[in-house]
């Protein structure tokens, strides 16, 4: 098999696993992957997952890769909050929630961080339409904030919460307090409930 045939078959997937390759070509020589990666014809995202260098010019695909290379997972925390314009900081890594063990992967697209939660906390995300019929698994804003307060308990004073610098206009007009409280009730976590009350006071939600 030559590289062009391989590329034509798999390019539109965005990224692919070696298992997908074997599903297509059971006798595929994995040394091809090693050789094409060394030549820069493929980019390794993590062990067993690859993409093509052309996707470096399509930055939104970084979020798509985050969903694909460690599953089940959904984008949340700082990355989701920045996506919605709720926090002002530039994002140095893609942050996701998973029911698998905590993990971080570094590749040519950046750092992909996955924070582990119990399986019953894997809720509160939406399937957001993406390029060419794909979807992104992305926390709704209220769940992204709850995930943040749950996993980073040092946000336990109004001053600490104000230092998040959440967008005041968004919090007053677009943030859904009812949905926040509905999602919060599913955590069944008294300490988190206390931090959410501080959040409500800090931003007059």
The pLDDT tens digits for 78-128 are: 999 999 999 987 778 999 999 999 999 999 999 999 999 999 999 999 999
> Which of 98, 204, 93 is CA-nearest to residue 151?
98
What is the average per-residue pLDDT within 10-14? 96
Distance CA 138, CA 76 (A): 6
Distance CA 142, CA 50 (A): 32
- Does the model's pTM come out above 0.85? yes
Distance CA 176, CA 104 (A): 31
Q: How many CA atoms lie within 13 A of 93 on its CB side?
A: 13
8-state DSSP, 164: T
C-alpha distances (whole Å) from 114 to each of 34, 54, 68, 151, 200 are: 26, 25, 12, 12, 27
Distance CA 107, CA 55 (A): 13
Neighbours of 80 (CB within 10 A): 29
Report helix, strand or coil for 98.
strand
The pLDDT tens digits for 140-190 are: 999 999 999 999 999 999 999 999 999 999 999 999 999 999 999 999 999
What is the average per-residue pLDDT within 64-90? 94
What is the average per-residue pLDDT within 48-69? 94
Confidence (pLDDT) at 1: 80
* Edge-to-edge strand list for the sheet holding 49-51: 15-17, 49-51, 43-46
Strand-strand pairing, 110-116 and 103-107: antiparallel
């Amino acid at each position: 098999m030559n590289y062009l045939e391989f590329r034509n078959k798999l390019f539109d997937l965005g990224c692919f696993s070696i298992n997908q390759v074997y599903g297509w070509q059971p006798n595929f020589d994995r040394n091809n992957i090693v050789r094409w990666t060394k030549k820069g014809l493929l980019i390794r995202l993590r062990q067993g997952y690859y993409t093509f260098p052309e996707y470096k010019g399509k930055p939104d695909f970084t979020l798509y890769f985050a969903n694909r290379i460690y599953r089940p997972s959904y984008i949340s925390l700082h990355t989701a909050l920045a996506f919605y314009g709720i926090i002002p900081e530039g994002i140095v890594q893609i942050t996701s929630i998973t029911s698998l063990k905590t993990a971080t992967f570094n590749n040519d697209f950046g750092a992909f961080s996955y924070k582990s939660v119990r399986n019953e906390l894997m809720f509160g995300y939406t399937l957001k339409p993406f390029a060419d019929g794909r979807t992104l698994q992305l926390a709704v804003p209220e769940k992204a904030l709850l995930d943040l307060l749950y996993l980073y308990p040092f946000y336990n004073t109004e001053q600490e919460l104000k230092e998040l610098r959440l967008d005041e206009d968004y919090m007053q007009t677009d943030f859904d307090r009812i949905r926040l409280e509905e999602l919060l009730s599913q955590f069944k976590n008294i300490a988190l409930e206390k931090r959410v009350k501080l959040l409500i006071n800090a931003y007059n939600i």
